[in-house]
Amino acid sequence: MDGAQILAGAVIGPHSHIGRDVIVNVSASVCHHCQIGDNVHIAPGAVLCGSVTVKPGAFIGAGATVIQGVTVGAGSLVAAGAMVVRDLPDGIRVSGVPARPR
């Protein structure tokens, strides 16, 4: 967790790994067994359910939800309020419920 910032009200569940220079913003939730890569930003109120993998450089927007077992690709952007229900490739931008490319 070198250089990681875990802000007020954020929760990191057991058996999760947080990479370098990660921001887990206010009231975000990273549930059990999540793997968060380097340089990831998890915005306020985002929820990563169990066993989520977020690859390096990805951004998870405010209030977004990533359901259990999903992988968010490197450099991807998940818009505020989106619900990610399936794996995302590297470098994609998604929004909506369910999240779709934009």
Active-site residue numbers?
32
CA separation for the pair 41, 98 (Å, rounded)? 21
CA separation for the pair 73, 11 (Å, rounded)? 22
Q: 77 vs 2, 61, 70, 81, CA distance in Å? A: 23, 8, 14, 12
Contacts of 59 (CB under 8 A, 6+ apart): 40, 41, 43, 76, 77, 78
> Quick one: tokens of 13?
């569940």
